[in-house]
């Protein structure tokens, strides 16, 4: 259960730090997230990321764009008896407007952990027909799908 709470927090942090927000998206491609493509003002993107944590509370996150965060400098510094490593695939589509945050659209996180657990989540902005406002995560964004293998949809 600890890893689930950690991954849920990490998923939201991924949205905030990995190209959905926090990365400049200027007209030139030098500031775009890897895998990002533009279509008539709408941006489509895909990137992968690695997150690992252990029972001691230490964690490591390779954000997939050259940035690394965590309480340790590498996965090899985590407790090998309790470490769980998870690979993220983040897919998004929407409009960034004139700022570094995804203003509207949708985001999907597909997370596969080496302990066999998988997580899938879908976030939508208020302009999306799937938006209900029942599970807000920030501003006008809502989580509409949050599944964990063996559990089903938790929202």
CB 63 within 8 A of CB 18: yes
Please choose, from the candidates 38, 33, 75, 26, the residue with its C-alpha nearest in 3D space to the C-alpha of residue 54: 75
> pLDDT-based confidence at 13, cuts 50/70/90?
very low
Instruction: Give the model's pLDDT for residue 64.
Output: 82
Total number of domains in the chain = 1
Q: Which residue has the higher pLDDT, 99 or 155?
A: 155
Assess whether pLDDT exceeds 80 at residue 57: yes
Which domain covers residue 133, as residue numbers? 2-153
Average pLDDT, the chain: 78
- Arithmetic mean of pLDDT, 14-42: 43
Structure letter (DSSP) for residue 93 = E
Instruction: Give the model's pLDDT for residue 90.
Output: 87
40's tokens = 């008539």
pLDDT digits (tens, 9 = 90+) for 90-130: 888 888 777 667 788 999 999 999 999 999 999 999 999 99
Q: Which residue has the higher pLDDT, 62 or 38?
A: 62
Assess whether pLDDT exceeds 70 at residue 82: yes
pLDDT digits (tens, 9 = 90+) for 58-68: 999 998 878 89
3-state secondary structure of 130: coil
- Arithmetic mean of pLDDT, 78-85: 96
Query: Residues in the chain, how many?
Result: 155
């Amino acid at each position: 259960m600890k890893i689930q709470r950690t991954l849920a927090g990490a998923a939201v942090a991924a949205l905030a730090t990995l190209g959905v927000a926090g990365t400049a998206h200027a007209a030139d491609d030098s500031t775009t997230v890897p895998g990002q493509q533009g279509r008539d003002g709408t941006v489509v993107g895909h990137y992968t990321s690695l997150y690992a944590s252990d029972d001691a509370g230490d964690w490591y996150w390779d954000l997939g764009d050259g940035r690394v965060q965590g309480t340790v400098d590498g996965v090899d510094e985590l407790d090998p008896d309790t470490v769980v490593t998870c690979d993220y695939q983040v897919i998004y589509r929407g409009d960034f407007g004139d700022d570094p945050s995804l203003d509207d659209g949708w985001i999907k996180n597909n997370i596969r952990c080496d302990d066999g657990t998988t997580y899938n989540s879908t976030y939508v902005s208020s302009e999306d027909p799937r938006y209900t406002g029942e599970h807000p995560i920030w501003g006008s964004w809502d989580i509409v799908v949050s599944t964990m293998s063996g559990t089903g949809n938790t929202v």
